[in-house]
Amino acid sequence: MLFIFILEIIGTIAFAVSGAITAIQKKMDMLGVCIMGIVTACGGGVFRDLLLGKVPPVLFTRPVYAATATVASIIAFIPAIRTSHFLQKHHFDRIVFLADALGLGIFTTVGVNAVQSAGYGENFFFSITLGVITGVGGGVLRDVLAGNRPYIFVKHIYACAALAGALVYYFAEPLLTVFPAMLAGSLVTVIIRILAAHYHWSLPKAK
């Protein structure tokens, strides 16, 4: 459980940073930056808990996640005030990209794990889709609130990467136990995202 908690905190920080920097790019003020950080980091988990019937959602019963997201957002905000002449737009874009990939990988496997903990693990379809929803939910909220087209619809192989990570976790967990399976699933998602961006993989589009 401690290892899962550590992974969750890493995912929370990563998603909070991606939300905070998106907010900074949109010229939001300090509180807006924190709210966007919290919403991005915790939004997927609130969807997950509502769809599992777990109320109040963990966000509210264990404040550590929101507190972590707040601190991460503030830290992301501070250098933006002072040293923004060092950081160019493409640096921000790259940080958002990597933080988002890491959060996506971790929260997808956390989501599949939550379905199993709630006793629905034998429902393959529910496990995989709720994993993907947990992974992508925060980012979709971030993009809708910022007025951007959601990442999931424009970035290379975004939901695919979450889907692959969810499948890896689902099938690896009985063999490897929870924590190694989480690492494996998260890594697969992050690697697919990086490769897809680097080689400009994309799925077919209609003309």
- Name which of residues 118 to 137 contact its own copies (CB under 8 A): 120, 123, 125-126, 129-130
DSSP state of 55: S
Coil/strand/helix, residue 30: helix
Residue 197: CB minimum distance to its own copies, A? 14
The CA-CA-CA angle for residues 76, 81, 83, to 5°, reads: 90
Residues near its own copies (CB under 8 A), total: 53
Using CB atoms within 10 A of its CB, is residue 87 exposed (0-12), middle (13-18) or buried (19+)? middle
Site string for its own copies, 56-95 (x = CB under 8 A): xx-xxx-x--x----------x--xx--x-----------
Measured CA to CA in angstroms, residue 47 lies from 27, 120, 124 at distances of 27, 16, 19
Least distance between its own copies and beta carbon 105 (Å): 17
Using CB under 8 A as the binding rule, the residues of this chain from 30 to 59 that contact its own copies are: 30-33, 35-36, 46, 50-53, 55-57, 59
180 binds its own copies (CB under 8 A): no
Q: Closest distance between its own copies and the C-beta of residue 26, in Å?
A: 7
Q: Is residue 116 close enough to count as binding its own copies by CB under 8 A?
A: no
Rounded-to-integer distance, Cα 98 and Cα 121, Å: 30
Q: Closest distance between its own copies and the C-beta of residue 148, in Å?
A: 9
Give least dist CB 31 to its own copies, A: 5
156: left (phi over 0), alpha (psi -120 to 50) or beta: beta
Q: Which is nearer to its own copies, 18 or 183 (CB)?
A: 18
Q: How far is the CB of 179 from its own copies (least distance, A)?
A: 25
Determine how many CB atoms are found less than 10 A away from the CB of residue 202.
10
Q: Does 152 bind its own copies (CB under 8 A)?
A: yes
Question: What are 131's two structure tokens?
Answer: 């994993």
The tokens for 105 are 């990988």
Taking the C-alpha atoms of 131, 132, 135 and 141 in order, what is their torsion angle to the nearest 10 degrees? Answer: -130
**In contact, 90 and 9? CB cutoff 8 Å:** no
Binding site for its own copies (CB under 8 A): 23-24, 26-33, 35-36, 46, 50-53, 55-57, 59-61, 63, 66, 77, 80-81, 84, 120, 123, 125-126, 129-130, 140, 144-145, 147, 149-150, 152-154, 157, 159-160, 202-207
